[in-house]
Structures are given as structure tokens and as C-alpha cells.
Structure 1
Amino acid sequence: MCIAHHNPSVQVTADHRIEIKQNEVPELKPGEVLIHPRVTGICGSDIHLWKHGQIGDLKVLDNLVLGHEAAGEIIGVGDEVKNVAIGDRVAIEPGIPCNACFLCRQGDYNLCQDVKFIGMYPHAGSMQRYLVHDARYVYKLPDNMTYAQGALVEPVSVGYHGVERANLILGHGVMIAGAGPIGLVTLLLVKAAGCTPIVITDLSEGRLAFAKKLVPDVITYKIDPKLSPQENGAQIRKIFGDTELEAPSRILECTGVETSIITCAYVVRRSGLLMIIGVGKDTFNNFPFMQLSFAEIDLKFSNRYHDTWPTVINMISNGIINVDDLVTHRFELEKADEAIALASDPRKGSIKVLIEDMQSKL
């Protein structure tokens, strides 16, 4: 099957340009499927790869097809594939682990150091008309789910993995730091988990207003950059109450920003848990070591996800969470450069920007 002649794709170059150009499609191997990605969400990492050319040690050394938040249609099936068939609508889990290392064997395949993650160099992502992927990491969508909802399974999975690791307690107060896309999906999940009260913080009044529209009973707090983390932390604590017992036992930090993490350390109650979901700098200079140590606050981290697709699909399909309102903009594949530019501009007020390709299949 030769379709290389018409496979438009969105590529970032090593010199930080976005190009829409044709991309070759590899031949199907046993165990693989050919997918027509119908919807791909733009992630902050896509923008980071464009503007900075790397995330940590992951560098863009040549043209790279972006995209990893995706859902699409199966249009080709390799030998030995039994879980899906041509015509199936699927959500795509973007990471393909080695399935051989001790991390994979113990179930923590999100930590596999040999993972092939689409949209990260050198593995082509989903912002193209045709994508070849390992059949073990695609999941059928129920008839009542849209492709857009299928694409949102990926960012929801990021929040879900952090929420799962945080061991939330029914009826306990929770603070969420950051009202970006991951903070907002985390808000939906925390609400579904029965935590109360829920406070979400951000620097942006617009994003806090969006959070309030998403979950009307959430309490918003606009971080005051003129105040120290300790002072902002004290103000947030007052929202929960005056006693140590009333302070939130769980904090979900979704920005990765140093000052935000420090603020969280002064909000979480003694013997509580601070879960860091956000991605930040390589090192911090002002880590509040003794604040966490004296209070025996557990500090945990979350990296991507594992075994979340079936659960998140069930939650969306069965109405436990409603992700539709997260989508603020939609663009055709051929206008993806405009979509990425918009998503990168905080003045535009976007939350989740989708790239859609509804062209008829091959």
C-alpha cells in the first residue's frame, strides 16, 4: 500500500519553524495498524518543541511530525492484529514501551527508558493524515464518544494518573495549582472523586473564570505575584478554615513552576501529600526542604500515565466527567500552523485547541 504521495503532516524543524509538508508512511508490520488520525489536540509540549527544540534531554535534531493527543479511524491492519478491525474508531495511547525492562514487567511502563513516544523525536506524531502505530496501544471508542473526546483521553490520563497516585479521600479538601488544560482536567476528576472543598489557583483571571464555569462550586484564588509563596499560601489556607485539620490533605500541583510548588508546600496540612503533576525546570534553587520535612508531608511525582485509557474512556462515555467544554478552538489539518500559533499565545484565551482532519479516508 503506497500512500506516501499524499500524507500532509505538521512538522517542526531543527531551526524552530513549523512546516506543513508531505510525509512518508512506513509499511505495516505484524502487530501494527494504519490509522487516519481524525482529531489531534495541541499540547504544551508541542509548543515547547517548536519554540525551544527540546524538552529536557529530548532534542529535535531533524524534522519531526508533532502530535500525541489523538483519536482516529483504523484503515489498515497488519498480520496478527486481533483487537481492532478496519473501520473501528479508536483513541491512541502515544507511548510504546519496550515491554522487557523491569519497569514494564512491574506495570510501570510509563517509566520505561526505551519508550517510543509519538510526536517526540525521532518518532512521527499524529498531526498527519496517516499514522502507523502498535495495535496494542489503540482502544475502541464507544459509539456515543466523538473523535474529539477520544483525543482528550490523553490529557485526562495525565490528570488521572496524578489523581490516582494522590490517593484522594472522599470529603477531604483539595487544592489544585494551575488552571491550564491539565489543571482543569484534574479539577473535573477531583470533583468526580467527591472531594470538598476544592480550591484552584492561577495567575490568570480568565482561566480561573473558565474553571468556575467548568465546575461552578470550585473556589478560585488568583495568585498575587507581589506576595511571597508563604504569604499566598497563608491566604489560600484561610479559604479552607482556621485550623490545621481544615487545611487540605492533598495538593495537586499542575504547573511545575517553582514558586507555585513552594506556595503549595505552605498550604498542605501536616502529614498531607503534595503531588506534582506539572513539568518544570531541571533544578530548583529554593526548595522548601524543612517545611516539608518538619511536617512529614509526602512529596510525590507523576510522569505521564499507565493503564488509563480504558478507565478514562469509561468515565467520559458514562458521563462521569464532561470534557466537551475544554475545547475552545478547532482548525483543519492544513491550517495547523495557525492553530499552534494561537495555542502558544496566552492572550488568545485558548484551553484546548484541536486539529481536525475529516477528509475521506484512503
Structure 2
Amino acid sequence: MTIAHDLPNPSLQTNPEHTLELREQPIELPGPDEVLLRIRATGICGSDVHYWKHGQIGELKVRGNCILGHEAAGEVIELGSEVKNFEIGDRVAIEPQDACGKCFLCIQGDYNLCQEVDFLSVYPCHGTIQRYRVIKAKNLFKLPDNMTYEEGALCEPLSVAYHGIERAQLELGRGAMICGAGPIGLATLALANACGAAPLVISDLSADRLEFAKKLVPRVQTYQIDLKKSAEENAAGIRKLFGPREEDAPPKVLECTGTENSIITGAYVVRRSGTLMVIGVGRDIINNFPFMHLSFGEVDVKFINRYHQSWPAVIRLISDGIVDVKSFVSHRFPLEKAVEAITLSSDPTQSSIKVIIEDK
């Protein structure tokens, strides 16, 4: 089956001048190992906002027009000549990274660390906030009948949390602290709950987000960060929620904001011999990092870079009802209103959790 490749294909694009524009994009023909998708749902990520407003994340810079979006799911509408494991009409979630498959990192299974990776929405690789997008078949995963396109799109942020949980090695009945109640923090909370980590505490600046976290996982304790206090003072308040003794402090702290103050707070919350897992994406350089405090406590400081081999697992978690990602969605917009969608997502006064762009 083939489609007319002159159909309208609106896309949300940014550029080095930090402007947003909804503009037509040519529809590509799928190569032998590719499929053409009708993108049905894309979630807006904080990185999309960052590329628009700041033009880069670390070494990754917007050097020309680039279509945003990478949290996506869609419908197979055209097959490449060598694609055998998909059919027209299949509903799929997209893993948005395409690694080289040849370097030592890919060979050892850490393809998320490949330096030649093409990642959707990272210039020059166009993203998914468009109607039609060609994707390698190997990066697609069929959705069960009981999952929506929206849930398929949310496999991506859940995969970020999954990789963080995996590397932090949470344990049943052992405490965990989550810094930040944004989409990644909430996904991390949901997975930490599923892992049986106990007790659980989550922090944020926003009382509304903490209230949402409490609805998501009723047993979690919440702590509202007070910016008038130092990181050490906030950390002391958080530790009290775990108990009065030093050994009550959490052995695992999962930092999901990437902000300097939050990372430092987490560094003072984690107990000696514990793990500080930095999941959030922040600035190139973090100042005032309590190096010797962590050194004296033999605290392992770990990081993640996206994810690998997580889509089958997170699809099962969603389809089996272990994690409810539908509740994360606070706003929905049609593709034609993508500019409004990302503008709302970037405005902290709107109290959005996850904004989804739909194309029904």
C-alpha cells in the first residue's frame, strides 16, 4: 500500500532564532527497512521547550530548522520493501533513537550512549510533531489493543524513569526519595511504588504538583521545597520524614529536575553508602557540588542518558495496569494548535503535567 505523498503534513518547527512555526513538511518515502507512520499522539517534553527557548542542551545545538517532538506513537500506513514484522494499520510506539549499531557502545548493549545516534527532534533529525514521519522498523513496538496512542507516546518518559530506577537498583522495603514532581518525577514515583520501595518521599516547589503526586501514590509523603532555606536545611526537613536515625535516611535518591539546588539537596538527603541517581537534565556546569560530603560518605553518584531496551517492559507495565500514565495528561491539543500547546507547556503558571498533541 502506498499513499499520495503530496498530502498536507503540518509540522511544528523551531530554529536558531528561537521562533516557532507551524509549516508544511514534505512526506518522505520509506526506505527498505522503514515504515511511514501517521503520527497520532506526541507528548511535549521539557527538552522541546529547551531547544525552542535556548537553542541547545549541552553540545546538542539547533543549527537550522528542526521539527520538535519525540514522545510519540502512530499508525503504520506504508511499509518499506524489506519490512516483514509489521502490517498496514498496526498501532505502534516509537523509540526515538537510532544508533549506529557498530561502535563498542552499541555492541555491548549501551546503544543509548552511541555518539553517532540520530535522535528525533535533535537537529538535524526532525521530530514527531508532524502528521507523517518515516521511522526505522526496528525502533517500533506494537501496542496491545488495550493501550491508546496517548499511552504509547508516554512510553518514552516512562522509559526515562525506568532506566533511572534500573541503574539506581531500588530495593523492596528500602527507602527512596524523589526530587521533583514533574512528568519524569511522577513516572519515577509510580515505578518506585511498583518496585516496593518504602518509605517514599517526593519533593517539589509546587504544592499543586505534590498534591497530584499524593493522588497518584497515596502512601507517598510530600515535602514542599522552601527557597528561603538552604539545600542542607531542606534536606534536613526531608530526612525527618524518613525517621529520626541516620540509618533511616534513604539509601536511594532519584533527582528528576536537573536543577543545581535540587541536586545539592538530594546530595544531603541520601545516606552514607547510598546512591544519588541524577535523572534530570540540567546545565553544563553545576557549582557548589558537595564533593567531600559525598566522598566521606562513599555515596555513588550516577547519571542516565535516555534509556535502552525498555519499550517492551514499559508497554507491559502500562498494559497490565501496573502504572497509570493516562493520569499524567493534563492538556490535549490538535496538531493544528501545536504552537499553543508548547506555549502552555512552557508556562509554569498553567500547572500542566503532560501536554499531548493529538492528530485523530
Give the gaps of 5 or more residues in structure 1. none
Are 1:293 and 2:267 counterparts?
no
CA drift of 1:25 comes to 2.1
Contact 2:163 2:307 in 1 (8 A): yes
**Whole-angstrom distance in 1 between the partners of 2:337 and 2:124:** 23
CA drift of 1:5 comes to 4.4
Paired residue secondary structure (1:84): coil
Name the aligned partner's letter for residue 222 of structure 2: T
Q: Which consecutive segments of 4 or more residues in structure 1 shift more than 2 A? A: none
Q: What is aligned with 2:28?
A: 26
**Whole-angstrom distance in 2 between the partners of 1:8 and 1:258:** 37
Paired residue secondary structure (1:201): strand
Contact 1:199 1:219 in 2 (8 A): yes
Are 1:274 and 2:299 counterparts?
no
**Whole-angstrom distance in 2 between the partners of 1:313 and 1:285:** 38
Paired residue secondary structure (2:88): coil
1:45 to 43, 47, 52: 47
Contact 1:116 1:123 in 2 (8 A): yes
Q: What is aligned with 1:219?
A: 221
Are 1:145 and 2:141 counterparts?
no
Name the aligned partner's letter for residue 188 of structure 1: A
Are 1:89 and 2:86 counterparts?
no
1:142-182: per-residue Cα shift (whole Å, max 9, x none)? 00000000000000000000000000010011100000110
CA drift of 1:111 comes to 0.3
Q: What is aligned with 2:324?
A: 322
Are 1:174 and 2:176 counterparts?
yes
**Whole-angstrom distance in 1 between the partners of 2:180 and 2:302:** 17
Contact 2:91 2:142 in 1 (8 A): yes
Paired residue secondary structure (1:175): strand
Superposed counterparts of 1:6-155, under 5 Å = 6-155=8-157
Contact 1:200 1:221 in 2 (8 A): yes
Paired residue secondary structure (2:92): strand
**Whole-angstrom distance in 1 between the partners of 2:6 and 2:222:** 50
Paired residue secondary structure (1:186): helix
Paired residue secondary structure (2:188): helix
Q: What is aligned with 1:238?
A: 240
Q: What is aligned with 1:256?
A: 258
Name the aligned partner's letter for residue 142 of structure 1: P
**Whole-angstrom distance in 2 between the partners of 1:267 and 1:61:** 40
Q: Give the structure-2-normalised TM-score.
A: 0.98
Paired residue secondary structure (2:236): helix
Q: What is aligned with 1:284?
A: 286
Number of residue equivalences: 358
Contact 2:5 2:28 in 1 (8 A): no
Contact 1:5 1:22 in 2 (8 A): no
Contact 1:13 1:19 in 2 (8 A): no
**Whole-angstrom distance in 1 between the partners of 2:36 and 2:323:** 30
Paired residue secondary structure (1:10): strand
Name the aligned partner's letter for residue 34 of structure 1: L
1:209-255: per-residue Cα shift (whole Å, max 9, x none)? 11111111110001111111111111111110111211101000001
1:55-90: per-residue Cα shift (whole Å, max 9, x none)? 112111221111100000000110211221111000
Contact 2:97 2:118 in 1 (8 A): yes
**Whole-angstrom distance in 1 between the partners of 2:86 and 2:187:** 28
CA drift of 1:13 comes to 2.4
Paired residue secondary structure (1:325): helix
CA drift of 1:2 comes to 4.5
Paired residue secondary structure (1:6): coil
**Whole-angstrom distance in 1 between the partners of 2:216 and 2:355:** 17
Q: Give the structure-1-normalised TM-score.
A: 0.97
CA drift of 1:54 comes to 1.4
Paired residue secondary structure (2:159): helix
RMSD: 0.9
**Whole-angstrom distance in 2 between the partners of 1:235 and 1:349:** 25
